[in-house]
Amino acid sequence: MQLRVLFLCGGNSCRSQMAEGLLRSLASEVATAQSAGLTAEGVHPRAVEVMDELGVDISKHHSKAVPELKAETFDVVITLCEPAREYCLLPSALTQDDQTPADPLTHNPVIAGVPVLLHWSVSDPAEAAGSAEEVLAAFRQARDRLRERLRDFIDSGTLAALTESRRRFETVLDSLDEGLFVHDEDRRIYLFNSAAERITGQSRDDVIGRDCHAVFSCGGLCSAQCQFREGPPAKLRRDQELRITTKTGEERRLEMRISPLDASMGRPGQILARLRDITELTSLRHELRESHSFHNMVGVSRSMRETFEAITQVATSDYPVLITGESGAGKELVARAIHDESSRKGGPFVPLNCGALPDHILESELFGHVRGAFTGAVQSRRGRFELADGGTLLLDEVGELSPIFQVKLLRVLQEKSFERVGGERPISVDVRVLAATHRDLRQMVREGSFREDLFYRLAVVPITVPALRDRREDVPELTAHILAKIARETDSPIATVSAETLDLLAAHDWPGNVRELINALRFASVRSRGEPIMPHHLPVEIHETGWDQPTLPPRPSKPPPTSTPPPAIRRREKLTSEAVRDALVETGGNKVRAAKLLGVGRATLYRFLDRHPLP
């Protein structure tokens, strides 16, 4: 492992050329050397002559100009004149068009990373005046001065110490399971450990010195969210989950944590990115979601599994999402799950019901107001957009917005800024907007009651939450989940549910969806007083409409010895689509009674319908 050393001087690079040749001759086994000048210069013949006196040939040496070093990194940079020293200490900056590099004499666009900076002041022999012998003496003096400094650098142990320090540092980094890479304020990567190579599929040699966006943009690792110049380091998002495509084409899920490294000693700051491969963990989480709750939502049905997958996918971006579904279906839970799955989970989640407020109050609620903006505005107040800065804003019941307010909201979404009511100063915030509604916005657009341009601003990614009656197979899991929550709230044992009651719950149409089921189970828990929940404990609209008869007859523990199965029950070893269709027609679509008619359990029928949907 060799230390990378750069010798840098001003317009004439003869000093750095001689220093490079000397270091190679004195310590080529532990260090590599490169020389450069702030501007391009050829090899000075007097430098060649005095180096030949020591048996070091630099006649064919190419000293690079600073722009040629753009994709190189160094452990140590040794400046040999004051202009070069000042150059290395200047902060990196671009000209106003943010594209063209500034004058290299007043700008540091190249030295990537944070190398050790040393300064050896050596007079420029090319500026010596006098006879040829006097000029040659000046070159010998500069050569000897450089040789003396290099011998001190080596004999004092400084070179060996820096080399060992770098070796240990890289050994520690490469022993980590977590991928690490660091880039400077120009996004040039100067540190990339072995785990980062394994996780991204990129080799260290291919990425060092390159713009991280140029390396990773196609794979999904870098986006506008992590640009260094996006804002001050404190505004950088610290955690985010993302999907990438590796160099070999493999899809992987990563957790990336970004930390700003503060500037010191007048030098620019850097960004540390830590990568953790959570592909297998995510896969396990998906498996668990098929049978357990996901962000307080329960579902084993195909429609809910698809909803969970959609939440996971949209959480990796910042696109607006329109969540539709009937009242009580869980639209706010879906919105909160998107927030909690996203890189914004550390920020606020701020919901607002747009249908519950008149326009003048809604405007103040969303955008805030300044003191004296209207009667009663005794002090300035932040709105929901400001409160959600760095997080997520949910606009619930967005279909209830008036045409006038639709225009105001559209302007905010387009311009990404707003003013408080009564204020004049534009305010910009970093907010992801989610919208939810139980109404058919597409139909409202066709009818002219909802703006088409606002609809497409809000509905970049649509998610529909299924009604409970369309996922009846989730009722048993939901019931167990809700009863466990009720037990925690009331500090009481978890209530049990009889088979007859569960059949009734699965047969009900649930016009109020999950919210209605929660209320029904709370009602039944109070009435049952710790006993198993029976049909008569349920609200009357459920236990009197679940069957044709007003109440359920008691179910005998054992049938009489002489009894035989009712002739209406068809015992079958294997269900067929034709038999299931006939049973559903005969029972008017009631799946619970159809299952009884077919002589199978309701779960068996639900599984069959899930695997073999009827036309």
What is the CA angle 90-91-95, rounded to 5? 105
Q: Note whether 311 and 456 are same-domain residues.
A: yes
pLDDT at 470: 92
pLDDT at 567 over 70: no
Assess contact for 72 and 34: CB atoms under 8 A.
yes
- CB-side neighbour CA atoms (13 Å) of 497: 25
User: Of the candidates 70, 6, 74, 13, which has an alpha carbon nearest to the alpha carbon of residue 38?
Assistant: 13
Altogether, the residues listed in the chain come to a count of 615
What Rg, from alpha-carbon coordinates, does the chain have? 36
Question: Which of the four pLDDT bands, split at 50, 70 and 90, describes residue 183?
Answer: confident
Residues 102-147 have pLDDT tens digits of: 443 334 445 666 688 899 999 989 888 889 899 999 999 999 999 9
> For the chain, give me the number of helices (H) and strands (E)?
23, 17
pLDDT at 238: 55
Q: Distance between CA atoms of 141 and 160, rounded to whole angstroms?
A: 27
Is residue 553 in a domain?
yes
Q: Distance between CA atoms of 335 and 9, rounded to whole angstroms?
A: 58
Q: Note whether 409 and 496 are same-domain residues.
A: no
Q: Distance between CA atoms of 517 and 462, rounded to whole angstroms?
A: 26
pLDDT at 97: 38
181: CATH: 3.30.450.20
Contacts 24+ apart (CB under 8 A), 90-97: 91/185, 91/263, 91/266, 91/267, 91/268, 92/184, 92/185, 92/186, 92/268
Per the prediction, the chain carries an average pLDDT of 81
Q: Note whether 379 and 359 are same-domain residues.
A: yes
- 171 or 90, which is more confident? 171
The strand pair at 251-261 and 270-277 is best described as: antiparallel
- 102 or 602, which is more confident? 602
For 132, the 3-state DSSP assignment is helix
- 140 or 545, which is more confident? 140
Is residue 286 in a domain?
no
The total domain count for the chain is 5
For 159, the 3-state DSSP assignment is helix
pLDDT at 328 over 50: yes
pLDDT at 491: 85
pLDDT at 397: 94
Structure tokens at 263: 């500037």
pLDDT at 57: 92
Is residue 291 in a domain?
no
Q: Is 448 exposed, middle or buried (0-12, 13-18, 19+ CB in 10 A)?
A: exposed
Residues 483-504 have pLDDT tens digits of: 988 988 888 888 888 888 888 8
Q: Distance between CA atoms of 25 and 38, rounded to whole angstroms?
A: 25
Q: Note whether 400 and 545 are same-domain residues.
A: no
Question: Which of the four pLDDT bands, split at 50, 70 and 90, describes residue 440?
Answer: very high
Q: Note whether 43 and 112 are same-domain residues.
A: yes
Name the domain boundary from 414, 446, 466.
Answer: 466
Name the domain boundary from 558, 576, 602.
Answer: 558
pLDDT at 557 over 50: no
Sheet bearing 116-119, strands edge to edge:
64-65, 31-37, 3-9, 76-79, 116-119
- 298 or 549, which is more confident? 298
pLDDT at 388: 93
Q: Note whether 402 and 460 are same-domain residues.
A: yes
Mean pLDDT of 59-67: 80
Name the domain boundary from 277, 305, 329.
Answer: 277
Q: Distance between CA atoms of 518 and 335, rounded to whole angstroms?
A: 19
Annotate 434-449 with DSSP letters as a single string.
Answer: EEEESS-HHHHHHHTS
Catalytic residues: 9, 81, 88
pLDDT at 540: 87
Structure tokens at 574: 């294997």
Q: Distance between CA atoms of 73 and 65, rounded to whole angstroms?
A: 15
Structure tokens at 291: 């049978």
pLDDT at 533 over 70: yes
Q: Note whether 503 and 491 are same-domain residues.
A: yes
User: Of the candidates 539, 550, 548, which has an alpha carbon nearest to the alpha carbon of residue 593?
Assistant: 548
Q: Note whether 548 and 578 are same-domain residues.
A: no
Look up residue 112 and give its amino acid: A
pLDDT at 415: 87
Assess contact for 261 and 182: CB atoms under 8 A.
yes
Q: Distance between CA atoms of 152 and 127, rounded to whole angstroms?
A: 26
- 105 or 606, which is more confident? 606
Q: Note whether 366 and 505 are same-domain residues.
A: no
pLDDT at 256: 80
Residues 158-180 have pLDDT tens digits of: 999 988 888 888 888 888 888 88
Share of the chain above pLDDT 90, in %: 34
63: CATH: 3.40.50.2300
pLDDT at 571 over 50: no
Instruction: Tell me the β-bridge partners of 352.
Output: 395
Residues 356-408 have pLDDT tens digits of: 788 888 999 999 988 888 888 778 889 999 999 999 999 999 999 999 999 99
- Lowest mean pLDDT across 79-88, 249-258, 344-353, 366-375: 249-258
Q: Note whether 480 and 578 are same-domain residues.
A: no
Is residue 285 in a domain?
no
Question: Which of the four pLDDT bands, split at 50, 70 and 90, describes residue 287?
Answer: low
Structure tokens at 343: 């890189």
479: CATH: 1.10.8.60
pLDDT at 226 over 70: no
CA 562 to chain centre: 67
pLDDT at 288 over 80: no
Is residue 494 in a domain?
yes
Q: Distance between CA atoms of 57 and 206, rounded to whole angstroms?
A: 32
Is residue 393 in a domain?
yes
- Boundaries of domain holding 102: 3-163
pLDDT at 478 over 80: yes
pLDDT at 10 over 90: no
- 198 or 547, which is more confident? 198
pLDDT at 217: 62
Question: Which residues lie closer than 8 Å to 228 by C-beta, 6 or more apart?
Answer: 183, 185, 186, 187, 271
Question: Which of the four pLDDT bands, split at 50, 70 and 90, describes residue 54?
Answer: very high
Structure tokens at 149: 């400094």
Assess contact for 45 and 14: CB atoms under 8 A.
no
- Please report the beta strands in 329-405, taking only residues with DSSP state E, as ranges in sequence order: 349-353, 392-396
pLDDT at 353 over 70: yes
Q: Note whether 453 and 473 are same-domain residues.
A: no
Is residue 288 in a domain?
no
pLDDT at 387: 94
pLDDT at 581 over 50: yes
Q: Distance between CA atoms of 22 and 521, rounded to whole angstroms?
A: 86
Q: What is the pTM of this model?
A: 0.52
Torsion of CA 556, 561, 563, 564, to 10 degrees: 110
Q: Note whether 215 and 144 are same-domain residues.
A: no
pLDDT at 113: 64
Q: Distance between CA atoms of 52 and 57, rounded to whole angstroms?
A: 6
Is residue 282 in a domain?
no
User: Of the candidates 492, 463, 91, which has an alpha carbon nearest to the alpha carbon of residue 309?
Assistant: 463
